[in-house]
A and B are shown apart, each in its own frame.
Chain A
């Protein structure tokens, strides 16, 4: 069953890591919506980014995508929420 899965990735904010993460997402050939990247962490302590997106796919495929993110050097955390949730908004 196709659902919308919100995925939240905390990763090093280098272009190389972001590029690698986007590449992993792209090559899965899964519909991606609401893609955002923003700096994360306290001001002055940069270097960490939060990538959020929504996958329109079945639960098993969404889980496989998350597992691929775990393998990327520089990815610190990956979380997936249910179809009821939307892309996480950054907390002040």
Chain B
């Protein structure tokens, strides 16, 4: 059936047809036709954020938690540029986000019109693809292609820039035949490559698995676990690979790299084979590349061909989906054990560091959250010291329950991203854990939570410093604490101003009650943890240093 619709109506219909149920956005002049049409499509729930950056992070959080595309909307000019940090975050962490931006009308483009900016040009390096829609008749196809590109292969953000007059343009619309679309096939590994990987595993004396975000994106949990259990290979999870393999499993070693435990990094340095699945061996993982895993042959399995050999030399690169390749590898690999090797690694394990004086340690705080949730929650972290403590200490047992900004290291990510996670998993408790610096970057989103009825439990680790930068100043800049002391408002009163229950914890004895009440209370809640001011994250590999030379507690 044919009917006449505006571009804005076509956009709404196509979003509905694409399975979208929630959008994060902020209206403005150049996107007004879309917002005019939106109330006619109640299936599209719109979350009005307080800043467009939060819309992009929330869409990212939604995408990571749901495995589906997250959608954010902004107007032209400042609305669009405010999305940039969120899109860069999604790009670095391979998250499928579609950003829809209003643009000035076609006749005004290029004239420096009011709120005009070249958002496509600005976002070119941080998007997989971008579209400037020139005609409403092509809008539906553009949206469908954008969703396909965002999700296909290695996921990433896509931007659709729609001039205001195109949103208003009336065109004939016919319900499309979306069944005609065919996604390009994913690359598949050859049998010989898989067999060679199996042979390398069989021959190795000290093999390791390192798994990253690609395992979570491919839901390759069972395959990775099967490979580990069949071979006895110890498993290392990168920051974005956390929760891809159960913490507490006897084969799980922990997180590698700059803040990896000593025995994890020692294992890498002693290994003669590393099977890397869905990770990109970034510099926070490898430290000094010239000194990384000097004895190891590296088998690198990744969906993105360009990552093979990009950072580390590989003996064998296998391009393919983590689940598919690992499943085939399990079938080809002979059962073995690594008992002697695992015992050698255990010999390198250090007792937990005692750098944190007093009872209100990260261990105690995270144990309280674990206890009140029974581990059945998703943790979203920000960036900094608290992020490393959570990564190292929280006992993740269910897949994809740890969400953080890894590659870009975006402070301010946790609170808005947690809103998206909540909407993707409405039946699950979501804790957004931030430092006092990152929390203050996007704390205005508490108003979004209240207005939109979003349940996020917020934890603020307040040490009065931009803690990780202060730690670097302590270690590498002669304790010159330049611009790292940071004042905070009274968070309990701040929460009260938003009508949110707030709790301040200054002693370990208060933990159970405060965390329990915050977790149980309906709606958003905030807990401030007043922690030691100058605690450090140990161990630490100095930037550019070798994994073999950590700074340990007591420096």
Contact = CB atoms under 8 A, between A and B. Distances in A.
A2 interface: no
A67 B306 contact: yes
B181 to A, nearest CB: 15
Given A16-B130, A16-B132, A71 B306 contact: yes
Give the bracket for the number of chain B residues in contact with chain A. Answer: 10 to 19
Contacts of B120: 16
Interface stretch (B121-129, B354-362, B545-553): B121-129
A64 interface: yes
A27 interface: yes
A70 B305 CA distance: 9
**Which of A63, A68, A73 is the most central at the interface, judged by chain B CB atoms within 10 Å of its CB?**
A73
B121 A19 contact: yes
Interface residues of A, number: 14
A86 interface: no
A67 B305 contact: yes
B306 A68 contact: yes
B309 interface: yes
A64 B310 CA distance: 6
B66 to A, nearest CB: 24
Contacts of B132: 16
B306 A27 contact: no
B142 to A, nearest CB: 12
A73 B149 CA distance: 9
A23 interface: yes
B125 A27 contact: yes
Nearest to B304: A71
A23 B304 CA distance: 19
**Which of B124, B130, B132, B304 is the most central at the interface, judged by chain A CB atoms within 10 Å of its CB?**
B124
Contact of B124 (A23, A64, A71): A23
**Which of A19, A20, A60, A70 is the most central at the interface, judged by chain B CB atoms within 10 Å of its CB?**
A20
B306 A64 contact: yes
Nearest to B145: A73
Interface in A40-88: 60, 63-64, 67-68, 70-71, 73
Interface string B46-73: 0000000000000000000000000000
B144 to A, nearest CB: 14
Contacts of A24: 125
A17 to B, nearest CB: 9
Nearest to B132: A16
B129 A67 contact: no
A78 to B, nearest CB: 11
**Which of B128, B130, B306, B310 is the most central at the interface, judged by chain A CB atoms within 10 Å of its CB?**
B306
B125 A23 contact: yes
Interface string B96-139: 00000000000000000000000011001100111010000000
Contacts of B130: 16
Contacts of A16: 120, 130, 132
A16 B118 CA distance: 12
Interface string B311-353: 0000000000000000000000000000000000000000000
A71 B309 CA distance: 15
B186 to A, nearest CB: 14
Contacts of A20: 124
A25 B125 CA distance: 11
Given A16-B120, A67-B310, A73 B305 contact: no
A23 to B, nearest CB: 5
Given A67-B310, A73-B129, A73-B149, A19 B124 contact: yes
Contacts of B304: 71
A60 B309 contact: yes
A67 B120 CA distance: 23
A73 B306 CA distance: 14
A68 B132 CA distance: 23
Interface in A12-44: 16, 19-20, 23-24, 27
A16 B309 CA distance: 29
14 contacts: A16-B120, A19-B121, A19-B124, A23-B125, A27-B125, A60-B309, A63-B309, A64-B306, A64-B310, A67-B306, A68-B306, A71-B304, A73-B129, A73-B149
Interface of A: 16, 19-20, 23-24, 27, 60, 63-64, 67-68, 70-71, 73
Given A64-B310, A73-B149, 14 more contacts: A16-B120, A16-B130, A19-B124, A23-B125, A24-B125, A60-B309, A63-B309, A64-B306, A64-B309, A67-B305, A67-B306, A70-B306, A71-B306, A73-B128
Interface of B: 120-121, 124-125, 128-130, 132, 149, 304-306, 308-310
